[in-house]
Amino acid sequence: MRYYLTLLALLAALPCHASTRGIVLKPEGQVEVRPGPSADWTPVSQAVRMEQGGEIRTNGDSKAVVMFSDGSRFMLGNNSQFAVEDTSKKRAGFKLMFGKLRAAVRGYFASRFEVRTPSAVCAVRGTEFDVEVARDGNTEMSVEEGLVEVNDSKGKMAVVSSEERIKVGMDGMSKPETVSLKDERAGEAARPMAVMRDTARERTRTMLEELRNRELKANEAMLGKDSIDAFGRRVRLEEYLLRPSDKEFKLLFLSKRPEQDRLDWGHLIEQFNAKIPDDVSKVGDIISGMYFSPTAPANWMKYFEVYLTNTVDSIKETIDFTAPVPINFAGYNGGAAMTRYYPGSIDYKQILSGPGVALAAGAGAGGLNADERIQFQLKQDYNTTTAGQFTWDQKVVNNAGALTTLEKITLDPTNVADVTVYGYTNDLVDKGGLYTGTVDPTVNPSDPVVTYPSGPGKADYSVGTTYADNSTLVSRKLLVSNEGDVLGIPGSPNSGTFLKEGNFNLELVINSSLFQGRDIDVLFAPEILSQKKEATTTADQFSLN
């Protein structure tokens, strides 16, 4: 039996910035405006257009709404002063001198909103937040939904997430506080879920702060939208495409379901040996060039990682590559010499984690954390284990949860008979390969169970595996419209179905018996992956079973 992984290719792109022009002020009560700080204040009683440099002032009995063409809006409270500082294509900058502001940022995060106060800079990475500035310049900011990056005058930075707040004085900032955990009315019953959310926020914040503290904020895309998943639940999607160095991409994606008080999120990482082009649509060529190239590749992928979590349980898949080496593939060419470059080694691991995993046999082995276990590993090398030959060593957990070789094969790429004959179990025996049937993770029939939960003609594809210790892993992939409809397709779907681009979200649902009844359910929006020509793209691959 051969247990092969399904590879899913994703295209990642940087977005085009939408114009931030078309800012309209709608006054409520006695509101004044002026075109710049040296001009006189003029009362306004009806909607007016605001230009760069313009300022707004409310008194004790008035308010104002600042509206943007993409649907975003700022609500100014009474006794507030606000300025439009920058309306360029690359950023939208504003300043709250004093008073209160409530922001609701919509659209696709195309405009990079930034709100300055005398003591802080709030870079919007989310949707709804409040800012209050005292006359002495001290700032308090709280986030209702999304993420906001806050910088103080001392050079410190923090990422504030949903239901958190932060205080920034002229002498620096405090740490973000989780509002819900400090509210005694929430009661003890609410605390476990709040702690789970706080753990996820901390992981997310740590990753974002690590990237942003490197001051690599260019070449970055963000996306946010509301959708319905395949099960009828409303989902708030947030995605961040970052380039922390000229050799890698990182993609962070979050799925928040308010009605279920649930957050699922994940990240995707690709690292290369050398600098990749600014036009990362060419990265796919770099990956293709790693395999069977007639000349030595100028660049190659070193590391790949995909991580998905429901904030309690997680699945992580990693692939380590070494440099492509010249190999004679004569066996594939009728015996005639044919030198091609191929990665010297490929090491794939699938790691599960969570409280249920911590209780399972084999957890913590191999230097992992106590709540982690390698469920599956496939190592391939050329010339390292056996001189002049390929070696495949496929391992799965046995009945005691220990990682055990299921099959181990060596193949001479110059040998026509080797290449032609090598096949399944009987061939393994004939050629001296190792096959350990007692740890075979399959159930009848002799391949992982493939089902189509939505029936024929729908892009809904599920693969399930039962291992020797009776642990299970089921990966389900769906293409879903923003309204929650599963994409219709001719015939039955396969992994290639999910290469499709368009106005559909990719929903990934992961179940395991080690997750104690929970699942992981992440939506990935394709908008961030299919932008206009002036944007850039990259190609990624990962499997989930």
Least confident of 36-45, 153-162, 429-438: 429-438
On whether the pTM is more than 0.85, the answer is no
* Per-domain residue ranges of the chain: 23-194, 446-531
Least confident of 116-125, 144-153, 349-358: 144-153
Q: Closest Cα to residue 224, out of 112, 142, 121, 65?
A: 112
pLDDT value, residue 154: 84
pLDDT value, residue 500: 45
| pLDDT value at 403 more than 90 | yes
- What is each CA distance from 76 to 23, 55, 133, 134, 344, in whole angstroms? 14, 12, 12, 14, 61
pLDDT value, residue 349: 95
Judge whether 147 and 130 are in contact, CB under 8 Å: no
Q: pLDDT confidence of 1, banded at 50, 70, 90?
A: very low
The model's pLDDT over 479-496, given as tens digits with 9 standing for 90+, comes to 888 889 888 766 655 545
Which tokens sit at 491? 């015939």
Strand stretches in 383-527, DSSP E: 390-397, 403-411, 434-435, 449-451, 460-466, 472-481, 504-512, 519-524
Backbone φ/ψ region at 457: left (φ over 0), alpha (ψ -120 to 50), beta:
left
Spatial distance between the Cα atoms of 448 and 36, rounded to a whole number of angstroms: 68
Least confident of 199-203, 247-251, 357-361: 199-203
pLDDT value, residue 272: 95
Backbone φ/ψ region at 139: left (φ over 0), alpha (ψ -120 to 50), beta:
beta
pLDDT value, residue 503: 62
| pLDDT value at 455 more than 90 | no
pLDDT > 90: percent of the chain: 35
Domain 23-194, second-level architecture: Sandwich (2.60)
The model's pLDDT over 501-511, given as tens digits with 9 standing for 90+, comes to 446 788 999 99
| pLDDT value at 374 more than 70 | yes
The model's pLDDT over 170-222, given as tens digits with 9 standing for 90+, comes to 888 888 776 543 333 223 333 333 444 444 555 555 555 554 444 334 345 56
| pLDDT value at 136 more than 60 | yes
Higher pLDDT, 77 or 455: 77
